[in-house]
Copies of this chain bind each other. A is one copy, B any other.
């Protein structure tokens, strides 16, 4: 396959290279695109240095699959050019996710929606992917009615500059130097804040409403009620989620464990007596959505609580998109 990556030098872009290589995706040619300021950089793929070129409407000639991960604006502007040039676009931005004729795909959950694509396939929001991989098998068994979720989101979700900001702030504190803020409105080192993406009129953030709307679309059930609080935490990598579900019928914690033990893409880490439950460090760099702390929720009707952690740059972004591409090839 002739593969193009838009946003190749970003935090997710670089993960694309690793995932394509690691999964031995059949790449016959690789085009790396980025903004002007990254032009001339080289990134390594299968032992070779691949140059980064500047994104333009003419960048997509001959491309068969174009992975976009450079923000909504870039996707809106250039995805149509890629489709016109004959490529299938797998877009990691939120630009097209809720459009009715754009499949929003998590391969473990709704691979069947892929066949209806019209050139653009959307990769869901990172926190949403991790949530649905964990709860879709429960939904199929017992019908989810309500989801209350609080997130613990790593700085790499914001991108490279945020990783550097956390690193620099920690170093500054270590040396008793002043803390400088450039990316986030508040200090992130040894701090956290309930602010991921912009605020909406309702008081929710866009990130929180993505979790609501995208989860409903992926599970094809608009009746599920979903409320999220999304929080940025001083962790480099992997998002965590405290998930509380109300189900259509009761299932026990043991039944939930049995369901999730064999669920695709899920790694069950649920032996609290041995201090085994997912953490960002255990999930970082892995392809799994890790689930633990499964218990019957004592506040919600037919309640079930769980703790979900996954690498949001991998399963939450690059890996999911590559899995979609693998399905396309099949």
Contact = CB atoms under 8 A, between A and B. Distances in A.
Interface in A221-266: 225-227, 229, 231, 233-236, 240, 242, 244, 253
Contacts of A295: 202-204
Contacts of A233: 152, 192, 233-234
A277 to B, nearest CB: 6
A57 B275 CA distance: 36
A299 B195 contact: no
A23 interface: no
A170 interface: yes
Q: How many copies does the complex hold?
A: 2
Interface stretch (A2-10, A67-75, A143-151): A143-151
Given A234-B235, A295-B203, A192 B300 contact: no
A293 B170 CA distance: 27
A34 to B, nearest CB: 28
A280 interface: yes
Nearest to A230: B242
Interface stretch (A91-99, A118-126, A183-191): A183-191
Contact of A203 (B174, B203, B296, B299): B296
A195 B229 contact: no
B190 A297 contact: no
13 contacts: A150-B150, A187-B281, A190-B281, A191-B235, A191-B279, A191-B281, A192-B280, A194-B242, A202-B295, A203-B294, A229-B307, A233-B233, A242-B242
- Going nearest first, the 10 A-B pairs with the smallest beta carbon separation are A203-B295, A150-B150, A227-B299, A229-B242, A150-B242, A225-B299, A185-B275, A199-B272, A148-B148, A191-B281
